[in-house]
Amino acid sequence: MFRGTVYRPCSKRSEGCTGSHRDWGIMNAWYAELTRPPLTPPNWVFGPVWTVLYIMILCSIILYYRSATRQQLPLTTIILIVHIITNFSWTFLFFRLQSPLLALLDIIVLDVTLVALLVLLWKVSMAASVLLMPYMLWVSFATYLNAGFYVLNKG
């Protein structure tokens, strides 16, 4: 999460999903005014971290779906879909709606679905699960940051 000024979830061709290009300036101004929790990294960190994490997530998903024994395929697929939706909706909730509370509720669902994916993938491919562990650490840190933004900026 916390893509801030570095990461945009939609291309210019699809700005309708989060708003117009000028809205990003407003959202970034709002974000700049927030009281930041301790350990908040600089904005430039988020782009490279998410790039690496998305590559690892993709590799994990490929390993699972190419496995000969895809245990609990329907359940895993549903949880994965919910997880991906919550991952991408976080940016909209936090920045576009400017709601750290809604984003916090979203990221809690993200955390729960990620733990479920780790368990389900472990049963099929230990490597697929291990590839998600850095992502789990990052999302846990992002949950802390999101909760901090909410607590420090209520009101």
Q: Say if 136 falls within a structural domain.
A: yes
Q: What is the pLDDT of residue 23?
A: 64
Range of the domain at 108: 14-152
Size (the chain), residues: 155
Is 2 part of any domain? no
Considering its fold, how many domains does the chain have in total? 1
Residues of the chain with confidence (pLDDT) below 70? 1-24, 155
Question: Percent of the chain having pLDDT more than 70?
Answer: 83
Is 67 within the bounds of a domain?
yes
Residues 6+ apart with CB under 8 A from 94: 1, 2, 100, 102, 103, 146, 149
Q: What is the pLDDT of residue 22?
A: 61
Q: Is residue 140 part of a domain?
A: yes
Q: pTM for the full model?
A: 0.83
